[in-house]
Chains A and B, each alone.
Chain A
Amino acid sequence: MTPGARRPDLLPALTPLIVAAIAAPFIGSLPTFVTLTVASLAMGAMLFVMASGLTLAFGLMDVLNFGHGAFIAVGAFAATVVYQFAPHGSLATDLASFVAALAAAAVVCGFVGYVYERLLIAPVYGRHLEQILITIGGSIVIEQLLLALFGTEPLDLSPPAAFRGALVFGQIAVEKYRLVALGLGVLLYVLLLLVLSRTRIGLLIRAGVENREMVEALGYRIDRLFTAVFMAASALAGVGGVLWGLYQSQARAGMGADLLVLVFIVIIIGGLGSVTGCFLGATLVALIANYAGFLAPKLALVCNILLMVAVLLWRPRGLYPLGAK
């Protein structure tokens, strides 16, 4: 076969459609189906934002960061602080304070991520058991700090007025905030793809995910690259935390830890290190969570674990494994 003639592998990209098609007859009513699907796409976008950095960090250094969830919570609390001081009322101020909240979360989480990586992760490169223990420990410390700083009660984090309410199309109502979250998730996805395909640091990340030793042998410091990726991953988790907090209308110290199982399912389904796989995985997980949550609420998480098993039986290294032939 001539190189380059390979057809793009589209089958995994169709899986969300297949899931939706299977679920539709069980759900029955069209408005309900549309509402659930839009909710899923929004939740998928948020899960993607939370998981995208983790999959890159994991792919690049094989680091098992069980503390990733803590950054989600830190991001949400950073947003509550911004919202305390931010003006609101008009669309412009609402948008400005939203952007300020996202930026604050990214900066704070990026900084905490830097300290966390240098202090906790750098000493245990390549040692998985220690990584699990130390990152769980690190996340407990961060959660306790949040409790000490902000109290044990969840803080209110309602979306600004501009994002409240729904757009109504006949019988179908679509919450505005879900569209905001979806739009932002897609925007970050496109930005990440552009960084990974158009910039030298992006190429280095993709190369490093496949063979970090060779990246080093070409003259690049893989440890510094990883620190940068880790900071970006933490910042993205923080941004995801703001989005999720606004969605839930609250910031809670344990919110990230609760989401971590889903986040791990997302990156495993997607293929470690693959941004597109992560986006698809997040969409699939969210679709299943919403459809199953509607049809059989108690089975939602079980269904997602079954989804992961099914995907791994079909594609043992995830939907879009990197370095595949």
Chain B
Amino acid sequence: MNLTLDGVHTHIGRYHILQGVDFQAPAGLTTMLLGRNGAGKTTTLRTIMGLWRASRGAIRLGERRLDGARASDVARAGVAYVPETMAIFSDLSVRENLLLAARAGAMDEARLDWIFGFFPALKTFWASRAGSLSGGQKQMLSIARALIEPRPLLLIDEPTKGLAPAIIDGLIACLKDVKERGATILLVEQNFRVAREVGDRVAVMDNGRIVHAGEMAALAEDAELQGRLLGLSLDSHQ
């Protein structure tokens, strides 16, 4: 399903953070949301998710308006969220974390095996307390939680932060496969290699606005544009 943001503004307290965000994440594609630190990427995902309320503008998933809905309704409209903080439930086991994410009740064994294929550590530590996992394993769990049932739209905030390269490869394979299965993905990512590998479309933010939107491949080839939009903090040869 297409995700469309139309002139979205978000205030946090008295700060005006999103100042008219317009972009589309087309159905069945992976759209990268890039931008410097503090550009408003996380705020955009949280606003879509209903964790911040848009003070103006429209957010649509397909035909359905998401703005003004509470987060639980956004989730039930088919949106899965992997927050920047991972937000796993550390007092619960790996299994219990996934069980809560599976709203239908029982978990689908075949789907679980598919997830274990990308993140084998989750199988190993199935019964362990999530709080005792390593940072990378927690990240896998947070992503697995978003995948345990098929959802039309995935919002993923910096999933590769602090991950070892081998795990990043697993994640890339996973994201490609999720897309194959028909999901729409909106992915915030600082690692340009990952962005180039999985991104179809790209939207670049700065100061709470979209400053560039287009094909990811075109941005990947245009070093001058990258430098202008993303600054030097990103290393395209990573």
Asked if B214 lies at the interface with its beta carbon under 8 angstroms from chain A, I say no
In the bound complex, residues from chain A placing their C-beta under 8 Å from that of B220 are: none
B145 with A218: CB separation less than 8 A: yes
In the bound complex, residues from chain B placing their C-beta under 8 Å from that of A213 are: 51, 71, 87
B90 with A220: CB separation less than 8 A: no
A203 with B72: CB separation less than 8 A: no
Knowing A3-B128, A4-B129, A6-B129, say if A217 contacts B71 (CB, 8 Å): yes
Q: Measured between alpha carbons, how far is A220 from B103 in the docked complex, in Å? A: 9
B72 with A219: CB separation less than 8 A: yes
Asked if B137 lies at the interface with its beta carbon under 8 angstroms from chain A, I say yes
B71 with A323: CB separation less than 8 A: no
A203 with B100: CB separation less than 8 A: yes
In the bound complex, residues from chain B placing their C-beta under 8 Å from that of A222 are: 72
Q: Measured between alpha carbons, how far is A3 from B145 in the docked complex, in Å? A: 19
B133 with A3: CB separation less than 8 A: yes
Chain A, range 193-220, C-beta contacts under 8 Å to B:
200, 203-204, 206-207, 209-211, 213-220
Which residue of A4, A200, A219 is within 8 Å of B127 (Cβ)?
Answer: A4
A324 with B49: CB separation less than 8 A: no
Asked if B91 lies at the interface with its beta carbon under 8 angstroms from chain A, I say yes
B92 with A207: CB separation less than 8 A: yes
The stretch of B5-13, B29-37, B75-83, B185-193 in contact with A is: B75-83
Asked if B96 lies at the interface with its beta carbon under 8 angstroms from chain A, I say yes
Which residue of A1, A207, A217 is within 8 Å of B51 (Cβ)?
Answer: A217
Asked if A173 lies at the interface with its beta carbon under 8 angstroms from chain B, I say no
Asked if A164 lies at the interface with its beta carbon under 8 angstroms from chain B, I say no
In the bound complex, residues from chain A placing their C-beta under 8 Å from that of B81 are: 217
Chain B, range 170-193, C-beta contacts under 8 Å to A:
none
In the bound complex, residues from chain B placing their C-beta under 8 Å from that of A6 are: 129, 132
Chain A, range 275-325, C-beta contacts under 8 Å to B:
322-325
Asked if B125 lies at the interface with its beta carbon under 8 angstroms from chain A, I say yes
B127 with A210: CB separation less than 8 A: no
B99 with A218: CB separation less than 8 A: no
In the bound complex, residues from chain A placing their C-beta under 8 Å from that of B230 are: none
Tell me, rounded to whole Å, the shortest Cβ–Cβ distance linking B72 to chain A: 5
Which residue of B70, B89, B92, B103 is within 8 Å of A216 (Cβ)?
Answer: B70
Tell me, rounded to whole Å, the shortest Cβ–Cβ distance linking B99 to chain A: 7
Tell me, rounded to whole Å, the shortest Cβ–Cβ distance linking A228 to chain B: 15
Chain B, range 135-191, C-beta contacts under 8 Å to A:
137, 145
- Which of B51, B72, B92, B128 has the most CB atoms of chain A within a 10 A radius of its CB? B72
Which residue of A4, A218, A221, A322 is within 8 Å of B132 (Cβ)?
Answer: A4
B89 with A210: CB separation less than 8 A: yes
Chain B, range 92-110, C-beta contacts under 8 Å to A:
92, 96-97, 99-101, 103, 105
Tell me, rounded to whole Å, the shortest Cβ–Cβ distance linking B145 to chain A: 7
Q: Measured between alpha carbons, how far is A213 from B91 in the docked complex, in Å? A: 16
Count B interface residues, CB 8 Å.
Answer: 32
B72 with A214: CB separation less than 8 A: no
Asked if B62 lies at the interface with its beta carbon under 8 angstroms from chain A, I say no
A3 with B125: CB separation less than 8 A: yes
Determine the residue in chain B with the shortest Cβ distance to A211: B87
A322 with B91: CB separation less than 8 A: yes
In the bound complex, residues from chain A placing their C-beta under 8 Å from that of B99 are: 200, 203
- Which of A203, A206, A218, A325 has the most CB atoms of chain B within a 10 A radius of its CB? A218
B103 with A210: CB separation less than 8 A: no
Q: Measured between alpha carbons, how far is A200 from B103 in the docked complex, in Å? A: 10
Q: Measured between alpha carbons, how far is A322 from B131 in the docked complex, in Å? A: 10
Determine the residue in chain B with the shortest Cβ distance to A221: B72
A325 with B128: CB separation less than 8 A: no
Which residue of A4, A203, A216, A220 is within 8 Å of B128 (Cβ)?
Answer: A4
Knowing A216-B70, A219-B76, A324-B131, say if A210 contacts B100 (CB, 8 Å): no
Which residue of A3, A211, A214, A220 is within 8 Å of B129 (Cβ)?
Answer: A3
Tell me, rounded to whole Å, the shortest Cβ–Cβ distance linking A212 to chain B: 10
Q: Indicate with 1 or 0, residue by residue over A71-103, a CB within 8 angstroms of chain B CB atoms.
A: 000000000000000000000000000000000
B75 with A206: CB separation less than 8 A: no
Which residue of B83, B89, B133 is within 8 Å of A207 (Cβ)?
Answer: B89
B83 with A214: CB separation less than 8 A: yes
Tell me, rounded to whole Å, the shortest Cβ–Cβ distance linking A152 to chain B: 46
Tell me, rounded to whole Å, the shortest Cβ–Cβ distance linking A323 to chain B: 5
Chain B, range 105-134, C-beta contacts under 8 Å to A:
105, 125, 127-129, 131-134
Which residue of B74, B75, B90, B92 is within 8 Å of A325 (Cβ)?
Answer: B90
Knowing A3-B137, A323-B131, say if A217 contacts B91 (CB, 8 Å): no
29 contacts between A and B (CB under 8 A): A1-B132, A3-B129, A3-B137, A4-B125, A4-B129, A6-B129, A200-B100, A206-B91, A206-B92, A207-B97, A207-B100, A210-B91, A211-B87, A213-B51, A213-B87, A214-B87, A216-B51, A216-B71, A217-B49, A217-B72, A217-B81, A218-B100, A218-B101, A219-B76, A221-B70, A222-B72, A324-B90, A324-B131, A325-B90
